[in-house]
């Protein structure tokens, strides 16, 4: 059975995520189980780690590189990622729309993210999520973060960002985020330190949709993988869209600077995923802005998703 954080922390995500639709990694104590193409591995429970709760703002240079990728890069990449497979968002039908209130008090479609700073799969997924959302609005307050470097963790030290102090402004979408745990191990609770707690509504969305009922190809033992993203309750992301291994040994600055090169394998994975996410956001915004939603890269993603 999958080992979850203590019940008092419900809703509690599994300790890791599901990369690229190839493998599902879930904390299961001392047992390793192989089920068809799904691999479940244990997450080590040692007593030390090298994490930090100190917030480190992302530099203006890196933030600009991540949030202002040239349109030519999106259009050249499309949905091509030869180096690693990409899992597109999962369609969700017949569910009530998820909406939020913008800073200007407008009710808009909501993109809701739940993850944790220790999680390498969340670290990978934040890159395309930031890239895609930046086509519809602007971020402030991004912070630098790496996934846990604790002994035994998968893909330790994956470079990324944290949403813990992020603000997002858009006339098309609302973005709400929860970083539920830090990347710092807490011996008192035998898990990572609590950081943010989802509201009752956010918890209900996570508990309902991040399950085998709505995520194809998983069992109930693999429910509640993170990262989890509800795209207006029209599309879901559960686990990373591509393997965090692609980012191993590459610095945050190098990844960001490479986002102008459409032949870079890391760029291809991030931008292809972002094009898929953008296509689903366009469903929520009724294809606005048209300069984004009618662009060749997004049209390629729409075609791959079966959207008109």
Q: Convert the pLDDT of each residue in 170-183 to its tens digit.
A: 999 999 999 999 99
Supply the DSSP symbol for 159: E
**Of 26, 55, 44, 37, nearest in space to 191 by CA:** 44
Residues of the chain above pLDDT 70, percent: 83
- pLDDT value at residue 103: 87
Round to whole Å and give the CA distance between 220 and 1. 10
Residue for token pair 């035998």: 190
Q: Where are the domains of the chain?
A: 7-305
User: What is the Cα–Cα distance from 99 to 258, expressed in whole angstroms?
Assistant: 34
The closest alpha carbon to 242, from 84, 40, 57, belongs to: 84
Q: Which residues contact 231 (CB under 8 A, 6 or more apart)?
A: 89, 111, 237, 277, 280, 281, 284
What are 52-101's pLDDT values in tens digits? 568 999 999 999 999 999 999 999 999 999 999 999 999 999 999 999 99
Q: What is the mean pLDDT of the chain?
A: 86
Distance from C-alpha of 27 to C-alpha of 120, rounded to nearest angstrom: 13
Pure H helices in 189-295: 200-209, 252-257, 265-285, 290-293
Q: Write down the pLDDT at residue 180.
A: 97
* pLDDT for position 46: 29
The mean pLDDT value for 31-36 works out to 24
Confidence category of residue 1, pLDDT binned at 50, 70, 90: very low
Beta-bridge partner residues of 56: 144
Name the band, by pLDDT with cuts 50, 70 and 90, for residue 17.
low
In angstroms, the CA 86 to CA 243 distance is 8
| CA-based radius of gyration for the chain | 18
pLDDT (average), residues 137-156:
96
- pLDDT, residue 254, reads 98
289 upstream amide cis, omega within 30 of 0: yes
Q: What is the pLDDT of residue 54?
A: 85
pTM to 2 decimals? 0.85
Average pLDDT over residues 48-54: 52
The runs of H, that is alpha helices, within the chain are 60-67, 71-77, 120-133, 200-209, 252-257, 265-285, 290-293, 296-305
**Out of 10-14, 165-169, 186-190, which region has the weakest mean confidence (pLDDT)?**
10-14
Q: How far is CA 47 from the centre of its chain?
A: 27
pLDDT at 299: 98
The residues near 286 (Cβ < 8 Å, ≥ 6 apart) are none
Give yes or no for residue 10 having a pLDDT over 50.
no
Q: Which of 38-47, 91-100, 127-136, 160-169 has the lowest mean pLDDT?
A: 38-47
């Amino acid at each position: 059975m999958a080992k979850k954080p203590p019940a008092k922390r419900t809703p509690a995500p599994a300790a890791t995520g599901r990369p690229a639709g190839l493998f599902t990694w879930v904390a299961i104590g001392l047992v390793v189980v192989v089920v068809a193409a799904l691999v479940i591995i244990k997450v080590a429970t040692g007593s030390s780690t090298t994490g930090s709760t100190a917030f480190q703002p992302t530099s203006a240079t890196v933030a600009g590189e991540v949030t202002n990728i040239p349109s030519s890069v999106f259009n050249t990449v499309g949905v091509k990622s030869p180096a690693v497979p990409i899992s597109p968002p999962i369609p969700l039908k017949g569910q009530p729309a998820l909406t939020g209130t913008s800073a200007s008090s407008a009710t808009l479609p909501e993109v809701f993210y739940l993850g944790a700073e220790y999680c390498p799969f969340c670290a990978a997924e934040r890159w395309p999520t930031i890239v895609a959302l930046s086509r519809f609005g602007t971020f402030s307050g991004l912070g630098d973060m790496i996934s846990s470097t604790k002994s035994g963790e998968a893909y330790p030290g994956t470079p990324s960002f944290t949403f813990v102090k992020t603000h997002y402004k858009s006339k098309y979408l609302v973005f709400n985020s929860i970083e539920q745990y830090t990347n710092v191990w807490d011996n008192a609770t035998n898990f990572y330190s609590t950081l943010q707690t989802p509201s009752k509504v956010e918890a209900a969305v996570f508990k309902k949709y991040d399950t085998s009922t709505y995520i194809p190809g998983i069992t109930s033992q693999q429910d509640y993988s993170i990262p989890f993203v509800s795209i207006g309750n029209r599309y879901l992301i559960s686990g990373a869209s591509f393997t965090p291994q692609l980012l191993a040994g590459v610095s945050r600055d190098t990844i960001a600077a490479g986002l102008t090169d459409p032949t870079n394998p890391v760029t291809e994975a991030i931008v292809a995923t972002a094009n898929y996410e953008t296509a689903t956001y366009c469903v929520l915004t009724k294809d606005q802005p048209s300069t984004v939603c009618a662009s060749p890269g997004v049209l390629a993603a729409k075609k791959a998703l079966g959207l008109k």
